[in-house]
Amino acid sequence: MERVPILKLGDILIVSIQIDLDDQSVLTLQEDLAETVVSRGARGVIIDITAVEIVDSFIGRMLSTIAAMTRMLDAETVVVGMRPAVAITLVELGLSLGGVRTALNLEKGVVMLEHARSAEG
């Protein structure tokens, strides 16, 4: 089974999804991520889905779950790089990813997390 790598940049964790996600790899990713957030003391998580071309309700829910999970661990999640086609599909599916912050690309995602942290003080 393929594992999604989790990269650390300062106190931000970057997850770039480059593979076709199946149910098992999604569950593994959620566990790995929760563990890494705690062990590294991360304050933010960026999920990069630039390479994801096809989404379904399962992946939509995965993003919401990860966001809710990391928030409980005091880390903010930003989903970046969503393709237009993916956004349209999610809207058509009726998923608005409530509670998930989004940014156009990785760079803006990092800026967004820094802003959020400076606002908290």
Partner 1 sequence: MTVPADAARRRIVEIFTSQEEPLLRRWSQISGAPIDELRDLHQALRTALVGDADLADVRGLLGELSRSRARQGYTPSDTARVVFSLKEAVYEQVEADGQTEALRGFAWLSRLIDDLGLFTFETYSAAREKIIIDQAEQLLELSTPVVKLWEGIVAVPLVGTLDSARTQVVMEKLLQTLVDTGSEHAVIDITGVPAVDTEVAQHLLKTVVAARLMGAECVISGIRPQIAHTIVTLGIEFGDIVTKASLADALAYALTRSGVQVKGAATTRVAVRAERG
The residue ranges that bind partner 1 (CB under 8 A) are: 78-80, 82-88, 90-92, 96-97, 101-105, 108-109
Q: Which tokens go with 47? A: 């999920």
Closest CB 51 distance from partner 1, rounded Å: 14
Across 33-84, the runs of DSSP E, i.e. the strands, are 44-48, 76-80
Q: Which tokens go with 102? A: 């989004």
Closest CB 77 distance from partner 1, rounded Å: 13
Closer of 29 and 49 to partner 1 (Cβ)? 49
Instruction: State the sign of the Cα–Cα–Cα–Cα dihedral 33, 36, 40, 41.
Output: positive
Comparing C-alpha atoms, which of 72, 73, 42, 60 is closest to residue 102? 60
Closer of 38 and 111 to partner 1 (Cβ)? 111
Distance between CA atoms of residues 75 and 85, nearest Å: 28
Closer of 34 and 106 to partner 1 (Cβ)? 106
Closest CB 26 distance from partner 1, rounded Å: 19
Closer of 3 and 115 to partner 1 (Cβ)? 115
